[in-house]
Chains A and B, each alone.
Chain A
Amino acid sequence: GAGVSQSPSNKVTEKGKDVELRCDPISGHTALYWYRQRLGQGLEFLIYFQGNSAPDKSGLPSDRFSAERTGESVSTLTIQRTQQEDSAVYLCASSFAGEETQYFGPGTRLLVL
């Protein structure tokens, strides 16, 4: 089947604007993760969804960041009042419950001018 997909692939926005990033996980994957990858850096965990459990939001860097997930499908990461330091690649991954391997999407490259 199809892999994890993310949209848009690239997003350029102006400082202060809100952006929404979308992730479509692999069908049947109940776990979904968002990561941020700044240029030349490793991945930073942002948030984790598992089924109907309360999400683990401990990685969200500020209250400008939020994410939602509808059931076990699409997730949206929203960044309000974007800042230049938000410029990064935002990666989404999904997995079956209890499976160790995370399957990654191609990412959304966000540039805040």
Chain B
Amino acid sequence: AQSVTQPDIHITVSEGASLELRCNYSYGATPYLFWYVQSPGQGLQLLLKYFSGDTLVQGIKGFEAEFKRSQSSFNLRKPSVHWSDAAEYFCAVGPYAGNNRKLIWGLGTSLAVNP
């Protein structure tokens, strides 16, 4: 069955520290992968996406993610976290082909940033 797993429900890091949020997926075909961020009181915003090509993708706000097919992973990274990065982060996978546009979502990782 298709699924997305975000193993870490909650992560706390200090401001300026590096960050890695994990995402593993189970998908029967070539996946399209996304990371979205949901800040308090705001809608979901796309951070980055992977469809094909270079497996290291750059996104907004200094985030990057690396697609590793052999590990079925798409982990999100940031070298230096800012207090404003505190939010809920969601990984999603989809086919994005034909009329089936469903995205399958992980349960999210809540990020807290200590000053």
List A residues at the B interface (Cβ < 8 Å): 3-4, 31, 33, 40-45, 48, 50, 53, 56, 58-59, 91, 93, 100-107
8 residue pairs from A and B, CB less than 8 Å apart? A40-B107, A42-B90, A48-B99, A48-B101, A48-B102, A58-B102, A104-B43, A104-B44
CB 8 Å contact bits of B78-112 with A (1 = contact, 0 = none): 00000000000010100010011111111110000
Given contacts A48-B102, A100-B51, 15 further A-B contacts (CB under 8 A): A42-B4, A42-B90, A42-B108, A43-B92, A44-B105, A45-B103, A50-B99, A53-B99, A56-B100, A59-B102, A91-B43, A91-B44, A102-B103, A105-B43, A106-B42
Q: Inside 8 A of A33's CB, which chain B residues have their CB?
A: 101
B26 within 8 A of A: no
List B residues at the A interface (Cβ < 8 Å): 4, 32, 34, 36, 41-46, 49, 51, 90, 92, 96, 99-108
